[in-house]
Amino acid sequence: MNAHAFWLVVPAAGIGQRMQSDLPKQYLTLNDRYLVDVTLDRLLTCGGWAGCVVPLHRGDQWWRTASSSENPFIETCEGGDERADSVMAALAHLRGRARDDDWVLVHDVARPCVHNDDITRLRNQLADDPCGGLLAAPVSDTVKEVAPGTDQVLATRDRSRLWRAFTPQMFRFGALCEALQQGLEHHPGAITDEASAMERAGWQPRVVPGRADNIKITVPEDLVLAEFILARQVGS
Ligand code: C5P
């Protein structure tokens, strides 16, 4: 048995600007359930967590109407301006309970189709790693670099070296706290996931191939796709 506890952090303090909705995207519905409830149910079904923290926006008026708010295992804290601030707030919430070598898995609330098998594989493959890593998938499209603010292609990138970063991302509590702290201080705005903070702190996170259906809800059309994926995953 792995001696280190697994803590779960699910940032849900975003306001979902790209969804063209007054409601933050975690409160849009998938099969008549809030996105936040679908995602948390999936993660908690996996079991083996020492605790779960969900950072929420300071003006959040919807959480108390989510079924997850009635689950005493789920704790909340106030999120921050950027995703990294929200994750940092959750880590601060866990300070004193999580040990430096414990694992923290950070999963975006906007990825409701995450599969049990992926979470188990991530935990198992990285269990003995000093740093940790993330679920990811190799890029299959040809990737173009376009001049900012224009439609002009500057170059074609070598896709054989490129992977799409998913969540969960799994790192050691102590190292992640330090890396995020440094990242927020020295590279504000550039820390778009935990791995990028760890990379800047000199670590080399590992990629663990994940299912391509672990999509992120970004635009309204993604909700329909997620409902389709969830229906197909039943029993798989
Ligand atoms: O907006 P985007 O999809 O990139 O957000 C990724 C995740 O980070 C979402 O789960 C969102 O709720 C969360 N987030 C946060 N605090 C912020 C911004 C985003 O918890 N300030």
Q: What is the residue-averaged pLDDT of the chain?
A: 95
Q: Which CATH number fits domain 6-134+166-233: 3.30.9.10, 3.40.309.10, 3.90.550.10, 1.20.120.640?
A: 3.90.550.10
Residue whose CA lies nearest to ligand 1 atom number 7: 108
Q: How many CB atoms lie within 10 A of CB 21?
A: 13
Ligand 1 geometric centre to CA of 1 (Å): 33
pLDDT band at 1 (very low <50, low <70, confident <90, very high): very low
pLDDT at 222: 95
Contact 119, 46 (CB under 8 A): yes
pLDDT at 19: 60
**Residue 140 amino acid letter:** S
pLDDT band at 169 (very low <50, low <70, confident <90, very high): very high
pLDDT band at 204 (very low <50, low <70, confident <90, very high): very high
Q: Is the pTM for the entire model greater than 0.85?
A: yes
Ligand 1 geometric centre to CA of 91 (Å): 15
| Nearest 10 degrees: Cα torsion 192, 124, 98, 73 | 90
Query: What is the Cα 198 distance to its own chain's centre?
Result: 15
d(CA 23, CA 223): 14
Is it the case that residue 20 has pLDDT exceeding 80? no
Atom of ligand 1 lying closest to residue 81 CA: 21
83 lines ligand 1 (CB under 6 A): yes
pLDDT digits (tens, 9 = 90+) for 111-137: 999 999 999 999 999 999 999 999 999
Among 11-20, 26-35, 47-56, 219-228, whose mean pLDDT is lowest?
11-20
Question: Which of 108, 215, 219 to probe ligand 1 with, by most ligand atoms within 8 A of CB?
Answer: 108
Distances (CA, A) of 19 to 28, 107, 144: 10, 19, 25
Mean pLDDT for the stretch of residues 20-33: 88
pLDDT band at 234 (very low <50, low <70, confident <90, very high): confident
Atom of ligand 1 lying closest to residue 12 CA: 12
pLDDT digits (tens, 9 = 90+) for 79-117: 999 999 999 999 999 999 999 999 999 999 999 999 999
- Residue showing tokens 């189709």: 113
Residue whose CA lies nearest to ligand 1 atom number 9: 108
86 lines ligand 1 (CB under 6 A): yes
For the chain, domain boundaries: 6-134+166-233
Question: Which of 10, 19, 54, 83 to probe ligand 1 with, by most ligand atoms within 8 A of CB?
Answer: 83
Contact 109, 33 (CB under 8 A): no
